[in-house]
Structure 1
């Protein structure tokens, strides 16, 4: 049981680090979409790229540790934990979101963004909603 607790502690730690970046990156997109300054846009391009590449290993470690926890609990637990199936679906959605951020970073790098700051403000709310749902599922384990 002690090993599972370590896995959970590390899983949550890397998840927090990942979300810190996933929450901040769209705020950079907002500033980038709204700036008229070429100098600021160039600075934001570097920040966006560095942040995304910095938090990506945290996403991978979060996933690997989550899978290790599932493995440690076993197949019968996994099959019975219906709440976990919903959580994993949300995690997949978050990885799609994360992948889409790579596309957006490239779009900004090529000066091809056509979306407004308002779009990125709304885009920024997606991981917040996923995080709330995942926490509720993980702690309350409904069903």
Structure 2
């Protein structure tokens, strides 16, 4: 089980790297000056590749997490809270993909400031998830 746990941690960390950086690309996309097509295209290409990569990484992170949960039979309020946060994290991931589609279609109306705040969501979620798993407060 330690191999599964180790791989789960690696895939989760890699998935989070994408969740941390994709919204940062959105900040830059929201700041692109009108008429800067080459810059916009370059950022969109980076965002598409990162979105694909982080989606692929999310799958083994989730599968291995499920394997651990079923294998160890974790119980308690901390696990319920963690699972809720994982579901919210999947929603955040989905929101990132929708936002990317909006940028591709040229329909983004949000400012770079909004994306700077949006970028902080996975940081807070990761903090709470790690605290729940390590401390098991309830």
Fold-level match, TM-score > 0.5? yes
Cα deviation per residue 1:35-57 (whole Å; 9 max; x = unaligned)? Answer: 11221011111111110001111
Q: Write out per-residue CA displacement over residues 58-88 of structure 1, whole angstroms, 9 at most, x where no aligned residue.
A: 11111100000011113xxx3x322011000
Q: Greater helix share, 1 or 2? A: 1
Provide the residue aligned with 1:73 in structure 2.
Answer: 72
1:111 aligns with 2:110: no
1:131 aligns with 2:126: yes
TM-score after normalising by structure 1: 0.92
3-state SS of 1:67 partner: helix
**After the TM superposition, which parts of structure 1 deviate over 2 Å for at least 4 consecutive aligned residues?**
none
Q: 1:97 is matched with which residue: 92, 101, 112?
A: 92
Give ranges in structure 2 of 5+ residues lacking alignment: none
1:1-12 equivalences under 5 Å are 4-12=1-9
Distance 2:25 2:71 in 1: 38
Counterpart of 2:16 in structure 1 is 19
Per-residue CA deviation, residues 117-137 of structure 1 (Å, 9 max, x unaligned), is: 001000000000000000000
The whole-number CA distance in structure 1 between the counterparts of 2:46 and 2:106 is: 15
Unaligned runs of 5+ in 1: none
Report the aligned-residue RMSD: 0.8
